[in-house]
């Protein structure tokens, strides 16, 4: 898990990772869900789309993960990860 987390953190624009889960839907079909904190941006969201595509491509190739669910949070709006009452 640390290797997957470090790999996501190495992507330009990614500032943090939490809620990382990797599991297998069926044999040979791993899946991943994660919350990714990115730099704040002022544009139309093009940077978010670029980061998502990079994460999906990077994760799929490097770890052979077949399904990803990624929630993007901007630094300004990130949840307090110490709060255990959030979903």
**Residue pair 31/22 in contact by the 8 Å Cβ criterion:** yes
User: What does the block give as tokens for 57?
Assistant: 């491509």
- What is the per-residue pLDDT for 23? 93
Tens of pLDDT, residue by residue, the chain (87 residues): 999 999 999 999 999 999 999 999 788 889 999 999 998 766 667 888 899 999 999 888 899 998 899 999 987 655 555 544 444
Give this prediction's pTM.
Answer: 0.79
Range of the domain at 7: 2-77
Looking at residue 61, which CATH number applies to its domain? Answer: 3.30.70.1350
- What is the per-residue pLDDT for 37? 94
Number of domains in the chain: 1
The set of residues, in sequence order, having a beta carbon less than 8 Å from that of 70 and lying 6+ positions away, is 33, 34, 35, 36, 52, 55, 56
- Tell me, yes or no, whether 70 lies in a domain: yes
Residue with tokens 């990803």: 68
- What is the per-residue pLDDT for 28? 84
- Tell me, yes or no, whether 84 lies in a domain: no
Q: Alpha-carbon distance 21 to 33, whole Å?
A: 5
């Amino acid at each position: 898990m640390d290797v997957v987390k470090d790999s996501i953190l190495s992507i330009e624009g990614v500032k943090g990772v939490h809620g990382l889960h990797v599991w297998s839907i069926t044999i040979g079909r791993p899946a991943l869900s994660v919350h990714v904190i990115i730099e704040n941006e002022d544009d139309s969201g093009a940077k978010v789309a670029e980061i998502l595509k990079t994460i999906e491509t990077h994760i799929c190739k490097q770890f052979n993960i077949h399904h990803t669910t990624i929630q993007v949070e901007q630094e300004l709006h990130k949840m307090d990860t110490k709060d255990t009452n959030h979903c």
